Chain A
Amino acid sequence: MSDLHHKTISQLLRDLDNKAFSSVELTAHYLDRIERLDPAINSYITVLREPALARAAAMDVARQKGTHPPLAGIPIAHKDIICTQGVRTSAGSRMLDNFIAPYNATLVEQLNDAGVVTLGKTNMDEFAMGSSNENSYYGPVNNPWRADRVPGGSSGGSAASLAAGLCTAATGTDTGGSIRQPAAFCGITGLKPTYGRVSRWGVIAYASSLDQAGPMAQTAEDAAHLLQAMAGFDHRDSTSINQPVPDYLAQINGSIKGLKIGICTEYFDAGLDDDIRTAVMAAAKTLESMGAILSEVSLPNTQHAIPAYYVIAPAECSSNLSRYDGVRFGYRCADPESIEDLYKRSRSEGFGREVKSRIMVGTFALSAGYYEAYYRKAQQIRRLISRDFSQAFDQVDYILGPTTPSTAFKLGEKVDDQVAMYLQDIYTIAVNLAGLPAISIPAGQSQGLPIGLQLIGRHLDEGGLLKVAHNFQQASDWHAQRPDDGQ
Chain B
Amino acid sequence: MPPITVTQDLVLAVAELSQLNIDGADIDGYAADMTKVLALVEQMHGVDTSDIAPMSNPTDASQQLRADEVTEPDQRERFQAIAPETDGGFYLVPRVVE
Are A and B in direct contact (Cβ within 8 Å)? Answer: yes
Residues of A whose CB lies within 8 Å of any CB of B are: 98-100, 102, 195-196, 209, 235, 238-239, 241-242, 301, 303-304, 306-308, 310-311, 318, 322, 325-330, 332, 336-345, 347-348, 351, 356-357, 359-361, 363-365, 367, 370, 373-374, 376-384, 386, 418-419, 422, 433-436
Say whether A377 contacts B20, CB under 8 Å.
no
Say whether A360 contacts B42, CB under 8 Å.
no
Say whether A377 contacts B45, CB under 8 Å.
yes
> In the assembled complex, which residues on chain B have CB atoms less than 8 Å from the CB atom of A238?
63-64
* Cβ contacts A to B, 20 pairs, < 8 Å: A102-B75, A196-B58, A235-B66, A308-B44, A328-B91, A329-B84, A332-B84, A336-B93, A338-B94, A339-B94, A342-B94, A347-B18, A348-B21, A360-B34, A364-B14, A365-B41, A373-B1, A379-B56, A383-B52, A419-B37
> In the assembled complex, which residues on chain B have CB atoms less than 8 Å from the CB atom of A235?
64, 66
Determine whether B70 belongs to the interface, using a CB cutoff of 8 Å to chain A: no
Say whether B34 contacts A378, CB under 8 Å.
no
Please encode chain B, from 14 to 27, with 1 for each CB lying within 8 Å of some chain A CB and 0 for all others.
Answer: 11011111100000
Say whether B54 contacts A379, CB under 8 Å.
yes
- Chain B interface SS verdict (over half): loop
Residues of B whose CB lies within 8 Å of any CB of A are: 1, 4, 10-11, 14-15, 17-22, 30, 33-34, 36-38, 40-45, 47, 49, 52-59, 61, 63-64, 66, 75, 78-79, 81-85, 91, 93-96
Tell me the complex Cα distance, A374–B43, Å.
11
Tell me the complex Cα distance, A310–B33, Å.
13
Say whether A373 contacts B59, CB under 8 Å.
no
Say whether A360 contacts B11, CB under 8 Å.
yes
Tell me the complex Cα distance, A365–B53, Å.
18
Say whether B15 contacts A360, CB under 8 Å.
yes
- B49 closest partner in A (C-beta): A380
Say whether A318 contacts B18, CB under 8 Å.
yes
Say whether A380 contacts B21, CB under 8 Å.
no
- B64 closest partner in A (C-beta): A238
Say whether A418 contacts B61, CB under 8 Å.
no
> In the assembled complex, which residues on chain A have CB atoms less than 8 Å from the CB atom of B42?
307
Say whether A377 contacts B17, CB under 8 Å.
no
- B23 closest partner in A (C-beta): A348
A384-B47 contact given A348-B20, A360-B34, CB 8 Å threshold: yes
A383-B20 contact given A310-B41, A326-B84, CB 8 Å threshold: no
Residue of B30, B52, B59, B95 near A195 (CB, 8 A) is B59
Tell me the complex Cα distance, A99–B84, Å.
11
- B16 closest partner in A (C-beta): A344
> In the assembled complex, which residues on chain B have CB atoms less than 8 Å from the CB atom of A436?
58
Minimal beta-carbon separation of A433 from chain B (angstroms): 7
Say whether B79 contacts A102, CB under 8 Å.
yes
A209-B57 contact given A327-B93, A329-B82, A360-B18, CB 8 Å threshold: yes
Tell me the complex Cα distance, A9–B86, Å.
46
Residue of B21, B22, B58 near A209 (CB, 8 A) is B58
Tell me the complex Cα distance, A381–B46, Å.
11
Having A329-B84, A344-B19, one finds 15 other A-B pairs with CB under 8 Å, namely A195-B59, A209-B56, A209-B57, A311-B44, A341-B94, A356-B30, A357-B37, A360-B11, A360-B30, A364-B38, A373-B45, A377-B47, A380-B52, A381-B52, A419-B36
Tell me the complex Cα distance, A306–B43, Å.
10
- A362 closest partner in B (C-beta): B18
Minimal beta-carbon separation of A211 from chain B (angstroms): 11
- A326 closest partner in B (C-beta): B84
Say whether A239 contacts B37, CB under 8 Å.
no
Say whether A376 contacts B18, CB under 8 Å.
no
> In the assembled complex, which residues on chain A have CB atoms less than 8 Å from the CB atom of B1?
373
Minimal beta-carbon separation of B14 from chain A (angstroms): 5
Tell me the complex Cα distance, A166–B26, Å.
39
Minimal beta-carbon separation of A381 from chain B (angstroms): 5
Say whether B20 contacts A359, CB under 8 Å.
yes
Tell me the complex Cα distance, A396–B37, Å.
34
Say whether B40 contacts A419, CB under 8 Å.
yes
Among A209, A332, A380, the one with the most B-chain Cβ atoms within 10 Å of its Cβ is A380
- B79 closest partner in A (C-beta): A102
Say whether A357 contacts B85, CB under 8 Å.
no
Say whether A329 contacts B83, CB under 8 Å.
yes
